[in-house]
Amino acid sequence: MSLKSKASKIDFASMVNAHAQVPDARQPKTAPGAMMAFANDQRSDLLRENEELRQRAERAGELESKLGEALEDLRGWEEAKPTRLLDPGQVLRSRYANRHDSSFLNEDFSRLKREIQEAGGNVQPIKVRALPAGEGTPRYEIVFGHRRHQACLELGLPVLAMVDNLDDRSLFVEMERENRERQDLSPWEQGVMYARALETGLFSSNRQLAAQLGLDHSNIGKSLALARLPEEVVAAFSSPLEIQLRWAPLLNQALEVDPDGLKRRALEMATGRGNRSSKAVLAYLVNQLSSEDLGAPRHFETDGRRMATVVYDAVGRGSVRFNVALSTERRSELERFVEDFVKRLN
């Protein structure tokens, strides 16, 4: 039989099917083996799922930790107020402002102004409240920070400010406490501030005001006494900032006993006080001059003999007393000298 005849009798289809039915050598050949293979596959899936869950849990823990930190930071800003840069020309001084104009002329203010200029603005923000909208009117009122605002205004710099919504009493309390902690006001400035608060009805009495501010009631009264002094008396001092709290009873007593005399002496002192200290001004006003306040007399001698004495009072007025009799000729000479001296005083 030829090869072609033999090949025609071979069943190739049965050979392919038989080969396809040959079990994979890697598959288990028994039922227990198949169950073990299935169990192993299930265990691998569980391990894989557990690893994925573990990784997710770690990521969740990290996110929770970051969230906690963010919430903690946020709590730290709960009481904070947003700041913004304002045109100082749109910010008004409060009607309760407690800074006298001379507060912006001293060396402390000049130093503050230099610091703000070097920094390019006020690093420490002021506090303001919004005013009702009105065409051509400033938009904000200062709660505290009048000196910083004034410095920025003079320097032409925007002023950094916190904007808050406050009523009049809250504004007054915050202004008083902030200024007391930063740059102590003079007793006279404090008195002016307290007087305005009482006059506008923010507080019904000195005691209520003192209780609200946590201050001594008697000191409130002394400050108010200074603020209510006649303008002539305040002007007798080179600056009202020099008037001390402990002087209030003395000045008040002088005002009660001799108001006209006190005003007259105040006008005299204001006209010719020169370089007199604030203590000397007080002494003259209340008629308690000492030799120190008057200045030591100056004696003129010739050959050991005292011939004349010159004395000046608290306002600088001088008097001359001669200890020897003057002839008619000497009197005329003295009068001509005085006349010439007086002409040169103008």
Predicted confidence (pLDDT) per residue in 220-255, tens digit: 889 999 989 999 999 888 888 889 989 999 999 889
Count the helices and strands in the chain (H runs, E runs). Answer: 15, 8
pLDDT over 60 at 22, yes or no: no
Within 170-273, strands assigned E span none
Angular region, 338: left φ>0, alpha ψ -120 to 50, beta rest: alpha
pLDDT over 50 at 333, yes or no: yes
User: What are the beta bridge partners of residue 299?
Assistant: 309
Nearest residue to 226 via CA among 94, 98, 97, 95: 98
Quote the pTM value. 0.52
Contact 273, 266 (CB under 8 A): no
Given this model, what pLDDT does residue 31 score? 62
Given this model, what pLDDT does residue 326 score? 86
Per-residue pLDDT, averaged over 186-198, amounts to 87
Give CA–CA dist 183/196, Å, rounded.
20
Domain map (residue ranges) of the chain: 81-185, 188-228, 293-343
pLDDT-derived band at 7 (thresholds 50, 70, 90) equals very low
Q: For 328, what's the count of Cα atoms within 13 Å in the CB-facing half-sphere?
A: 0
pLDDT over 50 at 18, yes or no: no
Please measure the distance between the N-terminal and C-terminal CA atoms of the chain and give it in whole angstroms. Answer: 162
Give CA–CA dist 290/280, Å, rounded.
9
Domain 81-185 has CATH 3.90.1530.10: yes
Q: What is the 3-state secondary structure (H, E, C) of 7-51?
A: HHCCCHHHHHHHHHCCCCCCCCCCHHHHHHHHHHHHHHHHHHHHH
